[in-house]
Amino acid sequence: MKQVFGALAVVGVAGIGVWQVMARETAVLIPYMDAEAAIAGARIYAEHCAACHGAALEGEADWRSPGPDGLLRAPPHDETGHTWHHADTLLFEITKYGSEAVVGGTYRSNMQGFGDVLTDAEILSVLAYIKSTWPDRVIETHNRINADARP
């Protein structure tokens, strides 16, 4: 009988650990206060993102309108854009899978998914870099958006 309770206790503790990891992953993904992550993210951003989204996170000109090809242009990731209007989980999914795959419907954009190019940790580092550049008031608003998005 002791062995059964012991086994149940181990399974219960393991289950709590898995739940905590899952809750942490869905609650706040972006480690924007981690200086090392943000520095690594800046390097990765320069290599993989800046060509479309701009070296200073400024996005393409007239980014709210489709380009000549009918696809939406790359938005800014600074405080003038809408990136901070989305919870961490959505930002991660868009970066990993691409805008069209996540948004669906008639949404058309050049934003490819980077899941085959970058690791999850690298994607989070890029997002950490982006978020670390926002003014405090924008970060506070984004943190509230994340809190509201928690399951």
What are 72-128's pLDDT values in tens digits?
999 999 999 999 999 999 999 999 999 989 988 888 888 999 999 999 999 999 999
Q: Hey, how many other C-beta atoms are within 10 angstroms of the C-beta on 137?
A: 9
pLDDT at 134 over 80: yes
List 98's β-bridge partners, or say none.
Answer: 112
What pLDDT is recorded for position 35?
97
What pLDDT is recorded for position 146?
93
**% the chain with pLDDT above 90:** 72
> The whole model's pTM is what?
0.80
Cβ(110)–Cβ(74) below 8 Å: yes
For 59-79, what is the mean pLDDT? 94
**Mean pLDDT score of the chain, rounded to an integer?**
84
Contacts of 128 (CB under 8 A, 6+ apart): 30, 31, 32, 34, 37, 38, 41
Cβ(78)–Cβ(135) below 8 Å: no
List 112's β-bridge partners, or say none.
Answer: 98
Any idea which of 40-44, 60-64, 146-150 has the lowest mean pLDDT? 146-150
Any idea which of 21-25, 31-35, 119-123 has the lowest mean pLDDT? 21-25
Sign of the CA dihedral running 39, 44, 46, 50: negative
Phi first, then psi, for residue 46 (nearest 5°) are: -60, -35
Q: Hey, how many other C-beta atoms are within 10 angstroms of the C-beta on 139?
A: 17
Helix spans in the chain (H) = 2-27, 35-48, 50-53, 88-97, 99-103, 120-132, 136-149
What gap in Å lies between CA 3 and CA 75, rounded to an integer? 58
Q: Hey, how many other C-beta atoms are within 10 angstroms of the C-beta on 13?
A: 10
pLDDT at 29 over 90: no
For 48-65, what is the mean pLDDT? 96
